[in-house]
Structure 1
Amino acid sequence: MGGFSFKKLTFMIMIVIFLWCSNIERCNARRVGRHWRASDSISKKKGKNHGYNNHHKGNAGKSKPKTPIPKAPPLPPAAAAGPKGGSSVFNVLDFGAKGDGTKDDTKAFQAAWAAACKVEASTINVPAEYVFLVGPISFSGPYCQHNIVFQIDGTIVAPTGPSHWASGLFQWLLFTKLVGLTIKGSGTIDGNGAVWWQNSPYDDDPLDDQSKLIFPSKNGTLPNKPPIPVRSSLGGKMPSTKPTALRFYGSFNVTVTGITIQNSPQCHLKFDNCIGVQVYNFSVSSPGDSPNTDGIHLQNSKDVLIRSSNIACGDDCVSIQTGCTNVYIHNINCGPGHGISIGGLGKDNTKACVSNITVRDIMMHNTMNGVRIKTWQGGSGSVQGVQFSNIQVSQVQLPIVIDQYYCDKSSCKNQTSAVALSGINYENIRGTYTVKPVHFACSDNMPCTDVTLTNIQLVPQQERYRMYDPFCWQTFGQLYSPTVPPVACLLVGKPASNKIQGDSDSC
């Protein structure tokens, strides 16, 4: 027991001496901090397996280690001028934008994009209460990070001088080869289209051929082109090619919501070769007589949802072109405009493929057409699996249209081949018309098949135009309920000599 007590006492004395020496070292360290850091570095090497590194990090605010902390690679000059503190929000004002509506802010937008492009889920902020003058610009991938947000709460306006526009430019704001891009906000994109409409109203953009059905002339030619009431006092002739305001090309999972696009020189919003598109709570605002100003234009795109939007323009509220499949459109207010259209398809003997299209819960007021399919003679391919339902029309000239003799010239050559139309369903289409309730003009060589009508109730407005009866040509299908007015011209069953599509025609 005595031996044990002596050992215990000796151990306690050693602990006291150790603590006393440690206290003296701390005091010396306060006097000569430089020597303390040197000895600390030695201790760190000896005790790296005893958790000392974590203890040292806790004192980082009191003393800096001799070895510098590695830094991230420097950003390019444009990005380095951006937001401080590692923020993922890039305000265009921080990159030199003035937002006064007169100074050219194009370079500032390019610099903000160059910075945001390198940060996943970053945001470019276009703040409210500013007007940004931006020339033609491309926001390009494919090496940008994913899920970038373009927050537009201010106004972006297009320049009106010809010097800002290269000849043959097809778009103003272009987004290409991006993944997960979102355009949102409460702001406005203004294309200043009046100067384009005034300077070259019809050079490259002929009138919608449907006008021949509404204003038929005695010799079957197009009527005289009406004057463009929108006038611009701005001088200089703009290029003949009118640009689309906002275009997306080759992108995946694109969303546009909240913003308004107005007065585009041509199409307002275009998706080309895109997969996974959402457009909602979106507005288009242009005069009904502005030439060829489609609201939303789809081409070679699939898995598209367009909903809960207001579209007023001078052409189709929504235009669905070749290569589109799995398109769902609902809860749209359309007007003025030319309605919702599939086509024109098959122009210049081309092949067109469109399938699985649903258009429902639509309000149309004062439009040229309601729901329309239009193709040129000489084309190939097919349109199949189309559902038009719950369409309310008011003062619409031609609520239901299939036109396989579409022609945007004074005359077109008659050709036998055609884009095949089948599985076209019309259900619950009601309201008033001013010219003709139903117009089905299908190909002689490739009649329309499986066209169905259910709960169609269309009554004449009886205001300005002469009323026409429903018209059908080479249209086969079935009435699932009585129609108002009666569509007695629809042929029941299948065509007796329906041409079988070859491999080159099928989609």
Structure 2
Amino acid sequence: MKVVALSILYAALALPVFVQAQLSGTVGPLTTRAAKAATKVCNILDYGGVASATTDNAAAITSAWAACLTGGEVYIPSGSYGLGTWITLTGGSAISINLEGTIYRTGTASGNMIYIEHTTDFEFYSANSNGAIQGYGYVFASAGTYGPRILRLYEVTDFSVHDFVLVDSPQYHLTLDTCTNGEVYNMVIRGGNEGGLDGVDVWGTNIWIHDVEVTNKDECVTVKSPASYIMVENIFCNWSGGCAIGSLGADTAIFNVGYNHIYSQNCNQMFMIKSNGGSGSVYNCAFNNFMGHTNAYTLDVNAYWTDETLAAGNGVEYYDLTFDHWHGTCADGETRAPIQVLCPSEVPCYDITIESFYIWTETGSEELYKCSNAYGSGPCLNAGSSYTTYTTTYTVTTASDYSYTTMAGELSSGLGITASIAIPTIPSSFFPSITPYSTLLG
């Protein structure tokens, strides 16, 4: 077990890690990869697997999992492996999956290609950092439909997912559903340029997501309700929808969430909190050190987001939210205000802090800040504690200190939805001048 500060690397030994920030305790597997492999190695080729991109290896993977269920490593060697039947891997402890090859979707059913549930002390990784799952989502997108999700974890505890690539999912790429004490890192997610192809969706408690690159046109790394003690940092939204919290509805329960060092280019937003009606609360969250350029929206808190069906309730209560050190540009700051904090009239936001906000428009010579029913400290926010309803629009005609550093590998356009997306390599950095917490295993 290891405790580290945010600014130093931890040894990549698959031991639990505690980040001194928004987390509540240690994250990651309880035993090392080496210990699992020393217990038993279940090579799928020994359970009927075939290194062929057109052969269904579902039965082999399922059998290997069953053989290692009480401790060991499911091993998928270098090579190509088809997956025509979706697999559900249930239970188990002190178990890992080492994906050194590439899994190719061949089936057409809906659901989840790989669904892992009720598992503890679990690790899904690639020892050579070359592992990948290719979803061939363009086949569905070309027909105007959606297909399966690639990878979903449900009620998994003390786990990590790292060092492999998810490509072209027919729907969401990675979902962490009601998970605890987890870590996701050193990954690339590449999806097509349309909605419904989320990168990472997470809800649960005590989860650290860091050093991840996402391309799509929907959620980059998004927290959903209920969630607490979630830390998201060193994220590269490389032509994506952008990071967010939401969508939120009735009985929202999100607190102690932190986003830090988020780089966004050509995204729908740098960050958005979205709801329409609803109830519950989002509080004690920090959104610091954002950088990027050419994003449509920038800081967008929208309690009237009409893309979401109106939920029962007077609105989600937002309070104790901090936005600090944002740098870069927006595409058109007069058309889409880089600061937009629109709170419910029945439940005004309060204790909102916006400081060191340096964003300038790429088009035109002025930009707008828009606030409604939002109280705290910062541009267009009202001070005081009366919390009455109001709406204001503030015009900005000059800005300073908005310079930004570009990232290597920035895409110049979204990825198409009519042809296969190439499998990328995992980069060496996910935010300018920030070293990833873990060295790539390969």
Q: TM-score, normalised by structure 2?
A: 0.74
User: Which amino acid in 1 is paired with 2:99?
Assistant: I
- Alpha-carbon spacing, 1:397–1:104, altered in 2? closer, same or farther (3 Å): same
Aligned equivalents of 2:50, 2:235: Cα separation in 1: 36
* Residue number in structure 2 paired with 1:503: none
* Residue number in structure 1 paired with 2:64: 112
SS at match of 2:314: coil
* Residue number in structure 2 paired with 1:360: 260
Q: CA deviation at 1:194?
A: 1.0
Q: CA deviation at 1:87?
A: 6.7
SS at match of 2:346: coil
* Residue number in structure 1 paired with 2:369: 470
Q: Which runs of 5+ in 1 are unaligned?
A: 1-85, 202-239, 480-486, 499-507
Q: CA deviation at 1:285?
A: 1.1
1:426 matched to 2:378: no
Q: Which runs of 5+ in 2 are unaligned?
A: 1-37, 390-442
SS at match of 2:67: helix
Q: Which digits, 9 at most, give the CA deviation of each residue in 1:292-315, with x for residues without a partner?
A: 11111012x000101112111221
Aligned residues: 345
- Alpha-carbon spacing, 1:416–1:116, altered in 2? closer, same or farther (3 Å): closer
- Alpha-carbon spacing, 1:441–1:415, altered in 2? closer, same or farther (3 Å): farther
* Residue number in structure 2 paired with 1:124: 74
More deviation, 191-200/331-340:
191-200
Aligned equivalents of 2:90, 2:39: Cα separation in 1: 22
Aligned equivalents of 1:193, 1:449: Cα separation in 2: 42
- Alpha-carbon spacing, 1:496–1:453, altered in 2? closer, same or farther (3 Å): closer
1:318 matched to 2:221: yes
* Residue number in structure 1 paired with 2:300: 401
1:139 matched to 2:89: yes
1:195 to 139, 146, 166: 139
1:174 matched to 2:115: yes
* Residue number in structure 2 paired with 1:97: 49
CA contact (8 A) 2:80 2:104 kept: no
Over the matched positions of the two proteins, sequence identity in percent amounts to 24
1:459 to 360, 372, 376: 360
Higher radius of gyration, 1 or 2: 1
CA contact (8 A) 1:383 1:420 kept: yes
Aligned 1:54-93 pairs, distance under 5 A = 88-93=40-45
2:198 to 294, 306, 312: 294
CA contact (8 A) 1:174 1:248 kept: yes
- Alpha-carbon spacing, 1:442–1:496, altered in 2? closer, same or farther (3 Å): closer
- Alpha-carbon spacing, 1:134–1:259, altered in 2? closer, same or farther (3 Å): farther
User: Which amino acid in 2 is paired with 1:111?
Assistant: S
* Residue number in structure 2 paired with 1:495: 386
1:282 matched to 2:191: no
* Residue number in structure 2 paired with 1:372: 272
1:151 to 98, 120, 124: 98
Aligned equivalents of 1:366, 1:137: Cα separation in 2: 35
Runs of at least 4 residues of structure 1 off by over 6 A? Answer: none
SS at match of 1:195: helix
* Residue number in structure 1 paired with 2:237: 334
1:253 matched to 2:134: no
CA contact (8 A) 1:266 1:291 kept: no
Q: Which digits, 9 at most, give the CA deviation of each residue in 1:110-161, with x for residues without a partner?
A: 111111113x2x11111113333342110111xx2x221100010011125x
User: Which amino acid in 2 is paired with 1:253?
Assistant: D
Aligned equivalents of 1:385, 1:338: Cα separation in 2: 24
SS at match of 2:159: strand
User: Which amino acid in 1 is paired with 2:326?
Assistant: I
Q: CA deviation at 1:468?
A: 4.6
CA contact (8 A) 2:255 2:283 kept: yes
Structure 1 or 2: larger strand share?
Answer: 2
SS at match of 2:106: coil
Q: CA deviation at 1:407?
A: 2.3
Q: Which digits, 9 at most, give the CA deviation of each residue in 1:264-322, with x for residues without a partner?
A: 111111111111110011111113x13211111012x0001011121112211111111
Aligned equivalents of 1:381, 1:419: Cα separation in 2: 5
SS at match of 2:94: coil
CA contact (8 A) 1:376 1:418 kept: yes
RMSD: 2.0
SS at match of 2:219: coil
Aligned equivalents of 2:41, 2:312: Cα separation in 1: 57
Q: TM-score, normalised by structure 1?
A: 0.65
Structure 1 or 2: larger helix share?
Answer: 1
- Alpha-carbon spacing, 1:136–1:425, altered in 2? closer, same or farther (3 Å): same
* Residue number in structure 1 paired with 2:25: none
